[in-house]
Amino acid sequence: MTAPTTARGPAATPGGWLRRYRPVDDATVRLVCFPHAGGSASAYLRFAAALAPAGVEVLAVQYPGRQDRRGEPFLETVEELVEAVLPELRQWTHGPFALFGHSLGATLAFETARRLTAVGRPPAHLFLSGRRAPVVPRTDTAYLLDDRSLVERVTRLQGTDPALLQDEELLRMVLPAIRNDYAMAGAYRYRPGPPLTVPTTVLTGDADPNVTSDDAGRWAEVVGGTFTLRVLPGGHFFLNDHTAGISSLIEEELADAH
């Protein structure tokens, strides 16, 4: 893979959907990353830095209602969000690209892959992290919890800085996004269709309280391409402890993307 140089191409500007933290000119492949519930594009800063030297440019999706898009209204369903991000995403899919999503982001990446594949622009690879397969029955009602109980639930997942959750002012800023995204996850229903014939890697933590390895393995029922399940040490946010290893895995899987 090529080394990065000064970036050219369409800019990901504030207010848009994609953030280019480490632009790579003539990237061998671009990796579009969807954050977890309540998360923002900056969740992928470390992956952008780790993958850029290998010629992989990370494009991190910024959902409305957070960080520099804080003044914009939330979108309430997976379908609405996918429909909204596609026009800007299509500017970046003229060359090889892959999709990565963690937790709720995995659902969004999967549905985005389905939409792009349906119009003849499938990703070179799909990475799904920290999420049960959509065929696994689930009831997501965390968004109905009162504020204190919701904060306790988020704290147990260990994906948010505890100091942030103890700061009342910051908490008022982030809690609406968390509640909205949990409601989005709760409203999602998988619509059966042809298996997605895209090479797929599923990542899960061996101590994730939300996802068992069996639940993660059932993604194989909805994808028809090459399927790999990787179980790593850690809880729901295991990827925070394995940036280097996961980056190497991504680089390896995308080495032949063309």
The catalytic residue positions are 103, 236
In the three-class reduction of DSSP (H, G, I as helix; E, B as strand; rest coil), residue 94 is classed as coil
CA distance 177 to 5: 35
Distance (Å) of CA 71 to CA 35, 74, 173? 19, 9, 11
In the three-class reduction of DSSP (H, G, I as helix; E, B as strand; rest coil), residue 9 is classed as coil
CB atoms within 10 A of CB 209: 10
Cα dihedral value 42, 46, 214, 81, nearest 10: 30
Residue identified by tokens 């080394």 is: 3
| Distance linking the first and last C-alpha atoms of the chain | 11
Tell which residue, 108, 119, 86, has the closest CA to residue 188.
108
CA distance 234 to 208: 7
Distance (Å) of CA 103 to CA 49, 60, 118, 167? 21, 15, 23, 25
Cα dihedral value 97, 98, 100, 106, nearest 10: 110
- Please give the backbone phi and psi of residue 136, each rounded to the nearest 5 degrees, phi first: -85, 120
